[in-house]
């Protein structure tokens, strides 16, 4: 396959991968925007959501098949992840809200290890298989002059875009979204104005985790296998996307995810798959050195 033939194919692969990174990155961005903390357990919430979707698929397969099966699987994964995200905020982070900035960071790492080990024990440490073909055939798609666009990848991008649009509407046009923006700007002033900061923080964890759960299903459908360790790698990539786009900026998180997915796919195709993680983390280091506020982020002191 020639260089020029590979580029469009890798662009499609990169946009698909980047869409998933973007959905996970939004969770990091929302929590940072409201609390100013980095929730490093978010990648494992994504992992648990993927397993929630896998369980739902196993239960529903005798009764449903085809694209109609995707909706309840997505809903189940999103609900599992959202419930877990809210529980983590309530029992692990809220008691530490007035502690030093290091305390919630350590708590996040502890929650991450707890979730990983719990799922490892529950699954025997074995990878689980997503029956993607029960929803849509991976071979079905459109041939655009040598560039194959599978319906599966197209579906992932469309679902990610719909979730992003729904979140954007929520943040811009609902009371909860306006309250989140107020808390992000000045929590104390928002509280004086009657905004319940606790409810806003819960909403941020709920929405971010909900998107992460949906992202878990999409990764399962794309790669057909999930395991207890998948949250670490995906979480770090999503964090990179979040920093790249501008941490605290929801549109930046999605844009950062797409840019990272594109660079990773092109690097894997034209350099070596071995350097997949090197590309991502080199990008993170370069962003922090050259433009720490990210592509769409605001300078320090102007929190989104």
| pLDDT digit string, tens, across residues 124-167 | 989 999 988 888 888 888 888 777 888 999 999 999 999 989 99
Contact 241, 256 (CB under 8 A): yes
Give tens-digit pLDDT for 6-38.
Answer: 788 888 988 999 999 998 998 888 888 888 888
pLDDT of res. 59 = 94
pLDDT of res. 298 = 64
CA–centroid distance for 69 within its chain: 22
pLDDT of res. 3 = 61
Q: Band the pLDDT of 53: cuts 50, 70, 90.
A: very high
Q: Band the pLDDT of 304: cuts 50, 70, 90.
A: very low
Q: Which residue has the higher pLDDT, 258 or 271?
A: 258
Give tens-digit pLDDT for 67-105.
Answer: 899 999 999 999 999 999 999 999 999 998 888 888 888
Give tens-digit pLDDT for 168-207.
Answer: 899 889 998 889 888 888 888 888 888 888 899 999 999 9
Closest CA to 209 of 238, 240, 247: 238
pLDDT of res. 300 = 52
Q: Which residue has the higher pLDDT, 41 or 303?
A: 41
Burial tier of 181 (Cβ tally within 10 Å: 0-12, 13-18, 19+): middle
pLDDT of res. 297 = 67
pLDDT of res. 149 = 85
Q: Band the pLDDT of 303: cuts 50, 70, 90.
A: very low
Separation of alpha carbons 290 and 246, rounded Å: 13
């Amino acid at each position: 396959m020639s260089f020029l033939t590979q580029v469009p194919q890798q662009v499609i692969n990169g946009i698909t991968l980047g869409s998933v990174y973007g959905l996970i990155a939004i969770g990091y961005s929302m929590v940072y925007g409201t609390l100013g903390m980095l929730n490093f357990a978010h990648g494992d919430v994504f992992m648990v959501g993927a397993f929630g979707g896998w369980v739902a698929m196993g239960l529903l397969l005798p009764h449903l098949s085809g694209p109609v099966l995707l909706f309840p699987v997505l809903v189940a994964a999103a609900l599992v992840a959202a419930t877990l995200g809210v529980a983590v905020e309530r029992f692990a982070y809220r008691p530490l809200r007035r502690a030093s900035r290091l305390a919630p960071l350590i708590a996040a790492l502890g929650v991450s290890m707890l979730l990983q080990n719990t799922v490892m024990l529950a699954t025997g440490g074995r990878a689980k298989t997503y029956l993607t073909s029960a929803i849509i055939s991976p071979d079905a798609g459109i041939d655009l002059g040598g560039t194959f666009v599978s319906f599966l990848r197209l579906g992932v991008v469309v679902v990610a875009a719909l979730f992003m649009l729904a979140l954007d509407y929520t943040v811009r046009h609902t009371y909860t979204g306006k309250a989140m923006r107020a808390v992000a700007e000045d929590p104390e002033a928002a509280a004086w104005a009657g905004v319940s900061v606790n409810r806003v923080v819960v909403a941020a964890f709920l929405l971010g985790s909900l998107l992460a759960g949906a992202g878990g299903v999409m990764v399962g459908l794309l790669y057909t296998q999930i395991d207890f360790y998948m949250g670490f790698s995906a979480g770090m990539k999503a964090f990179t996307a979040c920093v790249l786009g501008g941490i605290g900026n929801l549109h930046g998180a999605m844009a950062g995810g797409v840019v990272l997915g594109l660079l990773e796919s092109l690097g894997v195709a034209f350099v070596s798959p071995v350097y997949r993680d090197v590309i991502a983390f080199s990008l993170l280091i370069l962003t922090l050195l050259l433009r720490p506020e990210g592509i769409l982020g605001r300078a320090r002191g102007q929190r989104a």
